[in-house]
Chains A and B, each alone.
Chain A
């Protein structure tokens, strides 16, 4: 699970302070893909995102001896990452920060709902009604396929949505942490998260329709 106990956290910090390479490598494997996803929300290219991620890892190593554990290592790592990415991003290009929030389309294709002249306007049409997704245990083939579909869709999301969905759902940070990290309001954060999740849901639904 992504939620570490305080004892796990202490062990992790102690191992990093002891310069344990295996522990560092595992942490790199775990977080680097998400870090790249977040960094790319701020900078212009994959190359710059990699530089930002590398800088964040070095900052983590340099700071670990003085780390006081007021947040989790993961939250600290992503805080450092976002600060570096933001500084770099501001230098690389114009800030296009909040444009995504202005978008107010529905999160489900409106054609799936009954129209205004129907007895039940706004309710699902018979042929638009969602069907429950299969419950796929972790490790099952279908579960892995769905994870792949979700990951690909995540990479296609508008930048701010991708950053929020990565922090909230992939990394399991809570709403207040994410608002503080990104310096956005709770309402903005929720809109971005909702749009992003809705797009991933749609991708999963399309995929499941094709395989069934």
Chain B
């Protein structure tokens, strides 16, 4: 990527994880933030990405209903054997 050039949306979408991790260099981060200011599509894309991460955070809360009861029982048996 060359300096002083606007970031294209197609480039920005590949940088979102680095942006959220805070690992973009200062210059790229500034171009990213500048681009967001007047690009609704990318602002929405970032919002979608953040919502995706939040949704993934919730995946382990379902726990029990996803777990095969026979396997769960086996693990609890192992616990009783250890105790």
Which residues of A line the B interface, CB within 8 A? 2, 19, 21, 24-25, 28-34, 50, 53-54, 57-58, 61-62, 106-108, 110, 113, 120-124, 128-133, 135, 138, 143, 146-147, 150-151, 154, 165, 169-172, 175, 186, 190, 193-194, 197-198, 200-201, 204-205
Bound-state CA distance A97–B73 (Å) is 32
Q: Given A25-B76, A131-B44, A201-B49, A154–B14 Cβ distance below 8 Å?
A: no
B75 touches A130 (CB 8 A): no
Within 8 Å CB of A62, what residues of B?
82
B80 touches A190 (CB 8 A): no
A170 touches B57 (CB 8 A): yes
Q: Given A124-B41, A130-B44, A110–B53 Cβ distance below 8 Å?
A: no
Asked if B37 is an interface residue, CB under 8 A from chain A, the answer is no
B10 touches A146 (CB 8 A): no
Q: How far is the CB of A93 from chain B (nearest CB, A)?
A: 22
Q: Given A28-B72, A150-B55, A130–B17 Cβ distance below 8 Å?
A: no
Bound-state CA distance A122–B66 (Å) is 41
Q: Given A57-B75, A57-B78, A130-B45, A190–B21 Cβ distance below 8 Å?
A: yes
Q: Given A19-B83, A32-B75, A190-B21, A204–B52 Cβ distance below 8 Å?
A: yes
A197 touches B59 (CB 8 A): no
Bound-state CA distance A198–B10 (Å) is 13
- In the complex, residue of chain B having the shortest beta-carbon distance to the beta carbon of A128: B41
Place the interface of chain B in its size category.
35 or more
A132 touches B55 (CB 8 A): no
Bound-state CA distance A132–B48 (Å) is 6
Within 8 Å CB of A113, what residues of B?
8-10
When the two chains form the complex, which single residue of A19, A135, A172 contacts B57, counting CB atoms closer than 8 Å? Answer: A172
Q: How far is the CB of B49 from chain A (nearest CB, A)?
A: 6
Ordered by A's residue number, 10 sampled pairs between the chains whose C-beta atoms are within 8 Å are: A21-B79, A28-B72, A30-B61, A130-B44, A130-B48, A133-B48, A154-B59, A170-B56, A197-B49, A204-B48
- In the complex, residue of chain A having the shortest beta-carbon distance to the beta carbon of B11: A122
A58 touches B72 (CB 8 A): no
Q: How far is the CB of A14 from chain B (nearest CB, A)?
A: 15
A154 touches B67 (CB 8 A): no
A171 touches B60 (CB 8 A): yes
Asked if B18 is an interface residue, CB under 8 A from chain A, the answer is yes
The 9 closest A-B pairs by CB, nearest first: A122-B8, A169-B56, A194-B17, A124-B41, A29-B63, A129-B41, A122-B10, A29-B64, A130-B44
Bound-state CA distance A171–B14 (Å) is 23
Asked if B26 is an interface residue, CB under 8 A from chain A, the answer is no
B57 touches A29 (CB 8 A): no
Bound-state CA distance A130–B41 (Å) is 5
B13 touches A108 (CB 8 A): yes
